[in-house]
Amino acid sequence: MTTIIGIAGNQIIQSVEVFNGNHVTYTPQGFVTAIQNAGGLPIVLPIGEEKNAAAYISKIDKLLLAGGQDISPDLFGEEPHPKLEETNRNRDLFELALIKEAIKQNKPIFAVCRGMQLINVALGGTLYQDLSLYSEWKVKHGQQPTQPQFATHGIKIEQDSVLYQLFGENYRVNSYHHQAINTLAHSLKVTARSDDGIVESIESADGSQRILGVQWHPELRFDVDTKEFDLFKYFVNQL
């Protein structure tokens, strides 16, 4: 039976010439292609009302949370920092509801970049609204203008982790973020960090909850690095 992967969708709501001014619900093509190639059936879950999250989760086997906007800081008890970038509160609230329901219904969650950060917030953790607030910041975590298929910084992976089985102790990743996990939620564990200590991967500390999050973007490199594709195969077929 094919595994149904629900990908929480994003929105383009400003007028964009290529879409003739229409608002658009979307997800990056890399997620769709990687899931299909791994044998899964991807379905995009459009941003909607929180009350519908349970019904969406009941229709899928696993949930994927993609990257995107910053997370509204009041959701972890802070006012917006001057360096906060675009937020979408409707997306925040809907995805928080999806996370809650996925945990309630015991559906596995794989989260990328913003998605990993949102899981931490959903479970009671906090974020650095900008890396300038992190005193040990030494690594360039936004790799522009370097193209996304090129890995630019290293991470060290804990042996007691899913990632260690897939990547080994040391790996190099691409990087597109200016926010990061600050206080870790009690129900999570860190499984990889960059050289300057930024959290690069999380898993659930509770073996009964199947949660895996990464700070980088495997959907942009899976076609040039087989280990990144192995991550999607693990998500679709084992997590």
Q: What is the pLDDT of residues 91-113, one digit of tens each?
A: 999 999 999 999 999 999 999 99
Predicted local confidence at residue 21, as pLDDT: 75
Looking at domain 4-237, its CATH superfamily turns out to be: Class I glutamine amidotransferase (GATase) domain (3.40.50.880)
The first and second tokens of residue 153, run together, are 């910084």
- Nearest Cα neighbor of 165 from 233, 119, 102, 115 is 233
- Nearest Cα neighbor of 44 from 52, 1, 29 is 29
* Residue 64 near residue 114 (C-beta atoms within 8 A): no
- H or E stretch at 167: helix 162-167
> How far are the Cα atoms of 57, 146, 159 from residue 123, in angstroms, in the given order?
18, 33, 24
- Nearest Cα neighbor of 161 from 194, 131, 202, 100 is 202
Predicted local confidence at residue 52, as pLDDT: 98
* Residue 192 near residue 175 (C-beta atoms within 8 A): no
C-alpha gyration radius of the chain: 17
Predicted local confidence at residue 222, as pLDDT: 98
List the pLDDT tens digit at each of the 239 positions of the chain: 899 999 999 998 776 666 777 888 999 999 999 999 999 999 999 999 999 999 999 999 999 999 999 999 999 999 999 999 999 999 999 999 999 999 999 999 999 999 999 999 999 999 999 999 999 999 999 999 999 999 999 999 999 999 999 999 999 999 999 999 999 999 999 999 999 999 999 999 998 889 999 999 999 999 999 999 999 999 999 99
- The CA angle 37-220-169, to the nearest 5 degrees, is 90
Distance CA 152, CA 176 (A): 10
pTM, rounded to two decimals: 0.95
Phi, psi of 91 (to 5 degrees): -65, -45
Catalytic residue numbers? 113, 217, 219
Predicted local confidence at residue 20, as pLDDT: 75
